Amino acid sequence: MKVINRFILVDDEEANNFYHQIVIGGLFPEANVMSFTDGKSALDYLKNEHSDYNQENPGFKSAILLDINMPEMNGWEFLDEYEGLDREQRADYVIALVTSSQNPKDVEKAKSYNLVKEYVIKPLTEENLKDLIESLKK
């Protein structure tokens, strides 16, 4: 079982990213947290990073906490592009959708992506973050 030691937040609302950083830092003070306000910037980072962080930290994973409704590149578009990355580039990442959408169609669509491990309604709380991390470790 790998331990999650880095969180990549992708949400167009800076306030959500800030709040989620606080919640993550409260439970995992040693974790590395990065945030992006659009899917395109996050995807560009992931394409160029090639999991160097995880290669330098073997045995660890990074969690991508992805919003659905964003301008420029929404969460679905991000997932479609992300699926096209080399397997090696995706190897040490796990993805959870963290969204305000409670639309059953979004929940069903999320299930159609093998990459999406969890669907969490915002905001993150300590309790649902603990549950999320346990499920992402598997």
pLDDT tens digit sequence for 77-128: 999 999 998 887 787 889 999 999 999 999 999 999 999 999 999 999 999 9
The whole-angstrom distance between residue 52's C-alpha and the CA centroid of its chain comes to 17
Whole-model pTM: value is 0.91
Enumerate residues 6+ apart whose C-beta is below 8 A from 60. 2, 3, 4, 5, 6, 54, 92
Closest listed residue to residue 65, CA positions, set 109, 1, 112, 13: 13
pLDDT of residue 127: 92
The residues pairing with 64 across neighbouring beta strands, listed in sequence order, are 8, 95
pLDDT in tens, 22-50: 999 999 999 999 999 999 999 998 888 75
- The band of 73, judged by pLDDT with boundaries at 50, 70 and 90, is very high
Burial class (CB in 10 A: 0-12, 13-18, 19+), 84: exposed
CA dist 61 and 51 (Å) reads 10
- The pLDDT score that the predictor gives to residue 9 is 97
